[in-house]
Amino acid sequence: MKPRHHLYLDETLTEQLEAFARKPGGSKSAIVSAALRAYFLRQGAREVDDLLKVRLDRISNQLARIERDGQVLLESFALLVRYFLNVTPPLGEDDKAGRALGRDRFHAFVDQVGRRVAAGNRTLNPEGEQ
Helix %, strand %, coil % for the chain, to 5?
75, 0, 25
What pLDDT score does 23 carry? Answer: 87
What pLDDT score does 93 carry? Answer: 85
In this structure, how many other beta carbons lie within 10 angstroms of the beta carbon of residue 17? 17
Q: State whether 81 and 111 are in the same domain.
A: no
Q: State whether 20 and 39 are in the same domain.
A: yes
Q: State whether 45 and 66 are in the same domain.
A: yes
Q: State whether 24 and 65 are in the same domain.
A: yes
Contact indicator for 26, 20 with CB cutoff of 8 Å: yes
Q: Residue 123 gets which letter from DSSP?
A: T
What pLDDT score does 45 carry? Answer: 75
What pLDDT score does 90 carry? Answer: 83
Q: What angle do CA 78, 128, 69 make, to 5 degrees?
A: 35
Q: What range defines the domain where residue 109 resides?
A: 93-122
Residue 45 lies in a domain: yes
Number of domains in the chain: 2
Q: State whether 84 and 106 are in the same domain.
A: no
Q: Is the pTM of this model over 0.85?
A: no
Q: State whether 70 and 24 are in the same domain.
A: yes
What pLDDT score does 60 carry? Answer: 95
Residue 8 lies in a domain: no
The ranges of the chain with pLDDT < 70 are: 44, 124-130
